Each structure stands twice: as C-alpha cells, then as structure tokens.
Amino acid sequence: MISTQRLALPLLALACALGAGGAVAETLNVQLASDIRSSRPGVNRDALSDNVALSVGEGLVAFGEGGNILPMLAESWTVSEDGTVYTFTLREGRTFHNGAEVTAELVKQSWEATMAAPEFNCAGFFDGTRGARVTGIEAPDARTVVITLDQPEAMFLKNTAQSQCGGMAITHPDSFAADGTWDHPVGTGPFTFGEWRRGQSVVLEKYADYQPLDGGIDGFGGHKEALVDTVNLVVTPDRATAIAALRSGDLDVVPFLSTSEAAELTADPDFEVKSSPHGGMITLLMQTADPVLSSTEMRMAVAKALDIPQLVEVATDGLGTPNASLVPEGSVYHSAVHDEGIAYAPDEVPALLEAAGYDGQELVIQTNRRNPINENVAVLSQAMLQMAGINSRIEVLEWATQLDRFRSGSFQMSAFNYSNRADPVLAYSAVTASKEDRGSAIWDDPRAIELVAEATSTPDGEARQAIFDELHQLYLQQMPFVMLANNLTVSVNASYVQDYSTWNGFARFWGVSVDR
C-alpha cells in the first residue's frame, strides 16, 4: 500500500508544475518574407536584416518617435564647441549577451571593426564621402568614448542611429569566429541571436539579463523589455501561405502586408490590422531633364491634374494619408507650411499645357507589380492625366529593372517609393542633387541643393525649421515631382498578440506579449 507521505511529494511536484503554467515559454511566430542577408548590423543588409539587427543590437544612441535622438548605450553626450568632438558617457552595468560588460574600449573596437568592413552600408556617412570623416575614436576611460570628426556634422548622431547602419550596434569581439570572420552578433539588445537556419528561420531569444530603461517605448529607444521568450522568424515568401498560416495559428504576426490584403482582414475579429506611416515617400517622379517635362508649367499641369486625396485613398485602400511635403507628418519639422500642397484644379490644366507648348506627346509612367501601391498610383495617375488631356501610358517593369532605370534617370515618369528616411534632410537629399553628379537625382535646382547642404550642417532648431520651410515652398513653385504621401507599414497580428506595432517600417518585438 502506498503511504500518504509517498504520494504527497509527487502531488506537490505536480501542483508546482501546474502552478507554474504562466511560466511556459512563449513564442511569437512572425513571417519573414525572405531570408536575412547577414546577421551583421549595417553590413550586407536589407530592411529585414536591419529588423533583426535592431532587435539584437543597440548603439550609443537611438531614434525616438519624433525623429529625435535618444540615449541608448550612452547615457549622455556632449559636443565640442566647434562641433567636431562627440564625447559619450556609457551607462553603467550594461552587458553583452555573453555577460561581458560594455566598456569604452569594446565600443571603440566595435566601431572600428564595423567601419572597416568592406560591405558596410554606411561607410559614406563616416569616411567623408557623404559628410564628415571620423578621424579618431578614443576610450580615455572605461565609460567614456570620444569620437572626433574632421568637420562639423549636424547629422552625425542621426547617421549613427539609422536603421540601414544597423544603428551602429555595439557588438562584442566574440561575434567573430577564431579566423576573424563574422559569426553571429553578440550584442546588447533585448533579444539574443539564436539559431539561424538559412532559408528557413531566424530565432531570437529573450536576453534574461537585459536592463530596460525607464519610461515607455519610444521609437527604437526607451523601454525595450522582451515579454516573449522567443521570436521565431519564419521565412514565408508566399503571402497567401502566410495568411493561411496566420489563420491556422502557425504565424502570429505578418509584419508587412499590402494594403489590399490588409483590407480583406480588417473586418475579421480574429485579427488586428495596423497601419503606421513612416518617413518613406510615395511619389510620382518626373524626369525634369526630359524635353516634355523640363517645363515647370508642364509639371504643374501634371500636379493639378491629379486629385491627390482621392488617388492616395484608392491607392492605399484607405490606409494612407496625403502629405505634400517630404517632411513626414510625425516629424517635429512638419509645420503649417508643410501642409500646403498643389490643389486639384483640372480647369487650370489646359492653360498650363498651352503655356508649356504641350502637343499631345505621350508620357510613359514606369511602375512595378512588386509594390501594389506603385501600380495603383500609376493606374490612377494615368486615368487622371488622360481625363485632363495629358496623353500617357503605363510601362510595368520588374522591380530590379525599374530600380536600374531610376539609377540612371532613364524614365519620364515613375511611380516610385522611397524607403524610410528618419530625418527630413535625408528625404530631401535623396531627391536633390545635380543630375551630372547623380543619375538618380530628381531635383537639381541649385538653390535646393544649397539648402539641403545647409540643413545637413545645421543642428536641430529654428534655423533648420526655416530651411525645411523654404525647401517646401521652393518645391511647390518648381514641382520637380509629385509627393503623394508617406509610405506605410501595414501589419496584421492575431488578436491574442498584445501591443505589437511597427515603427518607421520596422517590426518591434519588445513590449509584445502573447495571451493565447
């Protein structure tokens, strides 16, 4: 006969196990539309690789929601009077995923290794090609990092925080294999880099010793606490399969969805569709060097022929909001000046066409089917231009081909989206340059180029605001292209996923919990 005492222990163990039900490891399964290119922040990257880098790594500073710069691994910094020396003070007690403490010497080594990487995407921002050159990185003591530039650079901190630069995430030397090649990131972020099965999945594990900052979630900074134990990023190239997997519960989040697919799921109570605009730009580009479109009157006629609110509404399935300015609505620089746009005025188009000497020449609008918004913009624009008496046709290209034509400037009109720009000056510099220097330049007005250069070296504040205001007014006078709206990230998650959101085009896995 089994005694009560002998039964008591197993029963107690069972009760403990049942009581610990809340501690069952929770996994967030997320679609990854294609595999990441590499695991090294800012090196051989694309947007999906950046997303992983931003979850695993942290830089000295990070972007906040308003495009402002927040402290991250650095708790504070000072800039010398001449604007060339940045002195960062590191937070105490921050550790890498291998348990090693974050020291100034390791920060210096990480920066130097990243800048020396041949495929470092942001080399131009730090080697003097596209701004100031980093001439020295010093670690005078364990908590102080001093970075010296060859000239003042107002964009230095913002370049440092850019997602395409991997946020200049600080990684431990253990990230490299014994032969000096990159192995996997040993960073400081809320998630550690787990198993990467190429072509199949990337697993991120909660970093148990992560010390979140106080406050709330703010851009890529602020309170970054991992609430799930594992994020399983599953490579699922086919969107129909991803939606089926979401419905079956094999996926919890599909982070990047077309607006039309999202529209189909909006009414379903099992899912939450979230749309968040970012600093990317939905545009209808015009080649100002083209014989027909070189006339300002002609470009103005095109702009006035477009009913932009309607176009944006339809092209984005009601999820987008028109924005006539390159300064995103969420930016602190989006003043009332930037609310001004070219109003829909088809009655004025004939006079403008006559003034431009337009004689019915056909305009070709290039687009692609990879991004449904581009295709919608092209189709709707063509219809509106035809109605206004502007002869146009659509040329659908494969994305790589359209990009190639964009690079060389070989287009008349192009329904084109620019990727996320975290600062207005990055948005303006993407379109503004001399066409002789850069084939992809759209706006080559000397005054605009001068203003962008000025904004690049002007620190945040009123002077910068004035520059952006003048740039927008100049844009409205010259209409070098049609800015339609800010691009959006549309995501869908199962309703049992709580507090999931994307910001600036990236999925944030911290602060997300799952209650199945």
Partner 1 sequence: MTRFVLSRLISAIPTLFLVSLAVFTLIRLIPGDPVSLMLGDNIDDTAYEAMSHQLGLDRPIPVQFLLWLQGVFQGDLGRSITTGQPVLPLVLQRFAITAQLVLVAVGLATLLAVPLGMLAAWRQNSAFDLGVVVGATALMSIPTFWMGLMLLLFFGLQLGWLPVLGYVSPFEDFGAGALYLIMPVAALVLHECGILVRMARASTLDVLRLDYVTHARAKGLTEGQVLRRHVFRNAFGPTWTLLGLILGNLLGGVAVVETVFTIPGLGRLIVESIYGRDYPVLQGCLLFVAVTYVVVNLIVDLCYPLFDPRVKTT
In the complex, which residues of this chain contact partner 1 (CB under 8 A)?
A: 34-35, 37-38, 44, 46, 118-119, 121, 124, 129-130, 164, 197-201, 234-238, 240-242, 244-245, 247-248, 250-251, 397-401, 403-407, 416-419, 430, 433, 437-440
Q: Which of 73, 39, 43 is nearest to 59 (CA)?
A: 73
Closer residue to partner 1, CB minimum distance, 44 or 230? 44
Write down the least CB distance from residue 248 to partner 1, Å.
5
d(CA 240, CA 246): 10
Q: CB of 412: closest distance to partner 1 in angstroms?
A: 16
How many whole angstroms separate alpha carbon 75 and alpha carbon 81?
20
135/125 Cα distance (integer angstroms): 13
Quote the least distance from Cβ 208 to partner 1, whole Å.
Answer: 26
**Closer by beta carbon to partner 1, 397 or else 497:** 397
CA separation for the pair 174, 422 (Å, rounded): 31
Minimum Å distance from CB 98 to partner 1? 24
Whose Cβ is closer to partner 1: residue 121's or residue 316's? 121
Beta carbons of 53 and 506 less than 8 angstroms apart = no
Rounded to the nearest 10 degrees, what angle do helices 424-431 and 462-478 cross at? 30
Closest CB to partner 1 among 327 and 397? 397
Nearer to partner 1 by Cβ, of 89 and 419: the residue is: 419
C-beta of 241 vs 495, nearer to partner 1: 241
84-to-123, 131, 133, 385, 453 alpha-carbon distances in Å: 18, 12, 10, 50, 17
Identity (one letter) of the amino acid at 191? F
- The residue (of 200 and 498) whose beta carbon lies closer to partner 1 is 200
- Give whichever of 43 and 146 is closer to partner 1, judged by the CB atom: 43
Q: Which is nearer to partner 1, 231 or 388 (CB)?
A: 231
Question: What residue has token string 């002998």?
Answer: 6
Return d(Cα 510, Cα 52) in angstroms, integer.
12
Q: From the CB of 48, what's the least distance to partner 1, in Å?
A: 12
The first and second tokens of residue 73, run together, are 């691994």
By CB atoms closer than 10 A (0-12, 13-18, 19+), residue 83 is middle
Pick the closest to residue 315 from 384, 238, 250 (CA basis).
Answer: 384
Nearer to partner 1, 119 or 209 (CB): 119
CB of 56 to partner 1, least distance (A): 18
Burial class for 209, CB neighbours closer than 10 Å (0-12, 13-18, 19+):
exposed
Residue 402 CB, shortest distance to partner 1, in Å, is 8
DSSP class of 121: T
For 273, phi and psi rounded to 5 degrees? -100, 130
Phi, psi for residue 4 in degrees, rounded to 5:
-60, -35
- Give min distance, CB of 13 to partner 1, in A: 29
Q: Which is nearer to partner 1, 76 or 200 (CB)?
A: 200
Q: Which residues of 44-63 are buried (b: 16+ CB within 10 A; e: fewer)?
A: bbebbbbbbbbbbbbbbbbb
Least Å distance between CB 201 and partner 1?
A: 8
Residue 35 or 290 having the CB closest to partner 1 = 35
Stretch (H or E) spanning 78: strand 74-79
Backbone angles phi, psi at 427, to 5 degrees: -65, -45
Three-state DSSP state, 407? helix
Cβ at position 96, least distance to partner 1 in Å: 24
Structure tokens at 239: 């969107």
Distances (CA, A) of 173 to 63, 65, 96, 157, 187: 25, 31, 10, 24, 10
CB of 92 to partner 1, least distance (A): 36
Least separation in angstroms between residue 411's CB and partner 1 is: 12
Report d(CA 151, CA 91) in Å as an integer: 27
Q: Is 372 helix (H, G, I), strand (E, B) or coil?
A: helix
Could you tell me the CA-to-CA distances from 424 to 158, 269, 427 in Å, in that order?
Answer: 11, 37, 5
Cβ closest to partner 1, residue 56 vs residue 70? 56
Give me the least distance between CB of 210 and partner 1, in Å please: 28
The tokens describing 111, both together, are 């920066």
Q: Locate 130 and state its tokens.
A: 């596209």
